[in-house]
Chains A and B, each alone.
Chain A
Amino acid sequence: MSLFGTTSGFGTSGTSMFGSATTDNHNPMKDIEVTSSPDDSIGCLSFSPPTLPGNFLIAGSWANDVRCWEVQDSGQTIPKAQQMHTGPVLDVCWSDDGSKVFTASCDKTAKMWDLSSNQAIQIAQHDAPVKTIHWIKAPNYSCVMTGSWDKTLKFWDTRSSNPMMVLQLPERCYCADVIYPMAVVATAERGLIVYQLENQPSEFRRIESPLKHQHRCVAIFKDKQNKPTGFALGSIEGRVAIHYINPPNPAKDNFTFKCHRSNGTNTSAPQDIYAVNGIAFHPVHGTLATVGSDGRFSFWDKDARTKLKTSEQLDQPISACCFNHNGNIFAYASSYDWSKGHEFYNPQKKNYIFLRNAAEELKPRNKK
C-alpha cells in the first residue's frame, strides 16, 4: 500500500498473527490490528456515520497526519487516504452525511476534508491549538464547533472564514462532546459547561465538577428515548463521573467510579493511578468503554453500576477509542500519551490501532 509508505508487515489480512513472533505485549487481547498505522501517537479516532455504507475509520496523530481506512466486515483494513496538517492533529469528526471529515490540529486551524475529491480546505482559525471539533446538525442550521486552548468555542459555517458564533470559555478547552441538542465542554481548572444547541448554541448550565482533578475526556450518553440526558467525565486520576443533567434524584443518580488503577491486592499499599484517556458509549446498548494510560480498556454498565470486562494490559497506554455506528466494532489506539513526560517517549515505538468485536461484550448486565 504505497499510500502510507511501508506497510506494517503484519499482512493486509488484518487477522492477528502475533504471539509467535515476539514476546512483546503489544496486543495481548489478540485484536485485529489496523494496517499502516500512524507513525506517532494517535490522538483521536472516529468511525463513519450510518449514512455511509460500510465502515471507515479516521485517525489523527501527532505525526501531523490524518489517515482513513476502510474496515471490511472480514476485519480487513484497507488504507484509503491521508491528509496532512502542519501540526499534530488533536481531534477528528465526520459530517452527518459521511462525505466530509473535519480535523482539528495544533497548528491552530481546523480543516474540512472532502473524501470524494480528497481535498482539504481550512475552515477554522483559532489563536491556540484546536483541541476539539464536532459537527452539529440542527434542523435549522449546521455547523462545526471547535474548542481551543485559546479559551473560546467557535462555531463555523464551513463556507465562511468568519465564525458564526464565538463563545468564551472560562479556561482552555480540554474535551467536548456533542449529541444534538446537547453539548458538553470540559475545560482546564475543572470547568464544566453544558450548552443547548436548539435554535442557536447557548450556554445552558455551568456545572461544578464532580471530580477532584483535571478533566480529560467527556462523552454524552442518551436515555431510552434516544435523547441525550447526561455525560460521563473522565479525569487524570483514574476516575469517571456519571452525571445526569436533570435527574430525579441527583444524590443517588450521579456517581463516580474508580477505574484504571493498578490492582491493589493490598489496599494499604499505594495504588498506581492512571488517567482516563477516552470514554465512548456503545450506540446501541448504552454501555460504556473507557481507555486509560495503564494500557487497558474496560467496559462498564452504568445503569447496573458494574464492570463488564477489563482487558489485559498493553505495553503502551491506550490513547483513544471509538465505536462504529452500529456498535459492532470497538477501535482503540495504543500509543504513548505523554502521561509520564518526555522521558518515556520513544519515537521508535510502533503505534497501533486495534479493532475488536464489540457486539457481545458490551451487552448490559441485567440489573439485579
Chain B
Amino acid sequence: MAICQFFLQGRCRFGDRCWNEHPGARGAGGGRQQPQQQSSGNNRRGWNTTSQRYSSVIQPSSFSKSTPWGGSRDQEKPSFDSFDSGASTNRKEGFGLSENPFASLSPDEQKDEKKLLEGIVKDMEVWESSGQWMFSVYSPVKKKPNISGFTDISPEELRLEYHNFLTSNNLQSYLNSVQHLINQWRNRVNELKSLNISTKVALLSDVKDGVNQAAPAFGFGSSQAATFVSPGFPVNNSSSDNAQNFSFKTNSGFATASSGSPAGFGSSPAFGAAASTSSAVSTSAPAFGFGKPEVTSAASFSFKSPAASSFGSPGFSGLPTSLATGSIRAPVTPAFGSGSSVAGFGSPGSHSHTAFSKPSSDTFGNSSISTSLLASSSIFATDNVLFTPRDKLTVEELEQFQSKKFTLGKIPLKPPPLELLNI
C-alpha cells in the first residue's frame, strides 16, 4: 500500500480508516526501533524519501560551478543515492508483501525488501530512459552482488567484435548478435520493472545469498550473473534452457541441463564465425534468471571447488518465469567436466545453427519462449555430433579442455574433442 504522507507528518485525519498504510501503527513500530544497522539505515532513508515527496526533491544540480556533489550524501549506507526514489514509493503496490514468501520476515525486513525492489524498479527505468550503456551488470545496492541476468561487455569488446566481423565479412552475424543482446537486456529490464512474485523471490535470494556469501559475494555473486554474450546463445539457450529449467529444478536432470547448455554453445560459430573471437566476448557463465542456487554452486566452482562448469544454470535472462529457489545446489560436476554426457549439440552443426538463430531471434525478440524454439532445438539436437573435432576448436577452448577444470568465463561452448576425454 501507499504510505500515508499525512500520517508520517502526524496529521492523518482518517486514522484507522485511512486507505494508505500507516507504518508503525500496527505494532510493528517496536521492531523498527531496533538498530539493525542496515534496516534502520534504510528506514531512515525511507522516511526521508517518503517525506520528500512533498518537498522539492531536487538532485542538487551538479552542473553549476562549485555546487556540492549530488551524491555526497550517499556514503556507505546501503542505500542508493537516487533520493528521488521517493516518487516511486507508491508505485509498487502489487508487491503483495503479505503473501507467502515474506510472511516469515519481520516488518523491518519487509520494508527493506520493499525499498530494495522499488529501488530496482526505479533504476531500471532510469537505465532505460537514460540511454546509458546497456551491456553492464547491475547491483541494486552498492555493496551487494550483481543481479543475475545482465552481461558485462565493455564498449571496447563490442567494438573489437565489430572489427573482427568486418574483416571476416560477416557483419550480419555481428548485427544479429548485438540485436540478441539488446533484446535479452530489454527483456530482463522489463522483467525487473514489472515485478511479479517469482522474479521478486529470485531477486531477493540473489541479493541475500550474495550477502551471506561474504567473501565470494563480490566477485562471485556477480560473476555468475554473466550471461552468454553470444547471440546464437540466447536463441538456443532460452529454448533449451527453458526445457532444462524444469529438469534442473527437480534436480534430476543435471545431465540434461548441461547438455542443454552446449546447445547454446554449439551455436557459438553463429556469433564468432571464426570462433576465435568468442574469447573476448563469450564470458560464459550463463545468465541466471533464477537467483542464487546456481550462483552459489557456481560460486563454489569459482572458488576452486571441483565443480566444473557453471553451465548448470539454465537460468536465462529472458525467461521471466519460474525460479529455482535455492533447492538446487547440484554441484555441477563431472557430467559436464568430462563432457561425455554432453548430448551433442555440437558445433559442427554450426551452419545449420546459424540459419536457426535468425528466425528464432525474431521469436525470441518477442520475449516469449516460444514452443517453436523448443521444438526446433530438439530437432536441431538430433542432427549433431557428440564431439568437436579438435581442429574446430579455438586455442582457448582447447586449452580449457586440457586444463584440469574450466575457468569461469572461458568455458567452451562446444563439446570437447573425443581425444581429450578421459573416462
Interface residues of A (CB under 8 A from B): 43, 62, 87-88, 90, 106, 127-129, 131, 149-151, 170-172, 174, 188-192, 206-214, 216, 235-239, 250-252, 254-259, 261, 263-264, 267-268, 270-275, 300, 305-310, 337-342, 345, 365
Contact = CB atoms under 8 A, between A and B. Distances in A.
Nearest to B223: A189
Interface in B61-88: 61-72, 74-77, 80-81, 84, 87
A307 B68 CA distance: 7
Interface string B150-184: 00101111111011000000000011001000000
Interface residues of B, number: 75
Contact of A307 (B67, B175, B302): B67
A188 B154 contact: yes
A272 B62 CA distance: 14
29 contacts: A62-B163, A88-B160, A90-B156, A170-B219, A171-B223, A171-B409, A172-B157, A172-B283, A189-B223, A192-B218, A206-B218, A206-B219, A209-B142, A212-B142, A213-B133, A237-B133, A238-B130, A250-B76, A256-B142, A257-B70, A257-B71, A258-B69, A264-B59, A267-B59, A273-B131, A300-B69, A307-B63, A337-B155, A342-B175
B407 interface: yes
Contacts of A189: 137, 146, 152, 219, 222-223, 225-226
B228 interface: no
B283 A171 contact: yes
Contact of B283 (A62, A188, A213): A188
B142 A211 contact: yes
B396 interface: yes
A207 B131 contact: no
Given A258-B62, A306-B69, A342-B178, A214 B133 contact: yes
Contacts of B74: 255-256
Nearest to A41: B159
B66 A151 contact: no
B312 interface: no
Nearest to A265: B61
A209 B217 CA distance: 11
Contact of A212 (B65, B76, B138, B157): B138
Interface centre among B61, B87, B158, B219 (most CB of A within 10 A): B219
B57 A150 contact: no
A213 B82 CA distance: 14
A174 B223 contact: no
Given A170-B223, A209-B139, A307-B65, A273 B156 contact: no
A319 B227 CA distance: 27
Interface of B: 57-59, 61-72, 74-77, 80-81, 84, 87, 123, 125-127, 129-133, 135-144, 146, 152, 154-160, 162-163, 174-175, 178, 215, 217-220, 222-223, 225-226, 279-280, 283, 302, 395-396, 399, 407, 409-410
B138 A213 contact: yes
Contacts of A255: 69, 71-72, 74-75
Given A209-B139, A210-B142, A338-B156, 14 more contacts: A87-B160, A88-B163, A150-B396, A171-B152, A210-B143, A213-B136, A214-B133, A216-B154, A252-B75, A255-B71, A270-B126, A270-B130, A307-B62, A342-B162
Nearest to A239: B71
A273 to B, nearest CB: 4
A309 B158 CA distance: 32
Contacts of B130: 238, 261, 270-273
Nearest to B399: A127
B152 A272 contact: no
Given A128-B280, A254-B76, A214 B154 contact: yes
A216 B326 CA distance: 33
Nearest to B130: A273
A250 B152 CA distance: 28
A254 B77 CA distance: 11
Contacts of A307: 62-67, 69
Contacts of B155: 275, 337-339
Contacts of A87: 160
A264 B58 CA distance: 10
Contacts of B57: 267
A70 to B, nearest CB: 28
A257 B155 CA distance: 22
A272 B131 contact: yes
Contact of B66 (A257, A271, A306): A306
Contacts of B409: 151, 171-172
Nearest to B395: A127
B132 A251 contact: no
B250 to A, nearest CB: 29
B62 A190 contact: no
Contacts of A127: 279, 395-396, 399
Contacts of A128: 279-280, 396
Given A129-B160, A214-B133, A188 B68 contact: no
A258 B138 contact: no
A100 to B, nearest CB: 24
B131 A212 contact: no
A236 B219 CA distance: 19
A210 B67 CA distance: 22
Contacts of B217: 208
Contacts of A106: 160
A149 B86 CA distance: 40
Interface centre among A129, A211, A238, A255 (most CB of B within 10 A): A255
Given A257-B62, A261-B62, A272-B130, A341 B158 contact: yes
Nearest to A193: B219
B72 A207 contact: no
Contacts of A208: 142-144, 217-218
B141 to A, nearest CB: 8
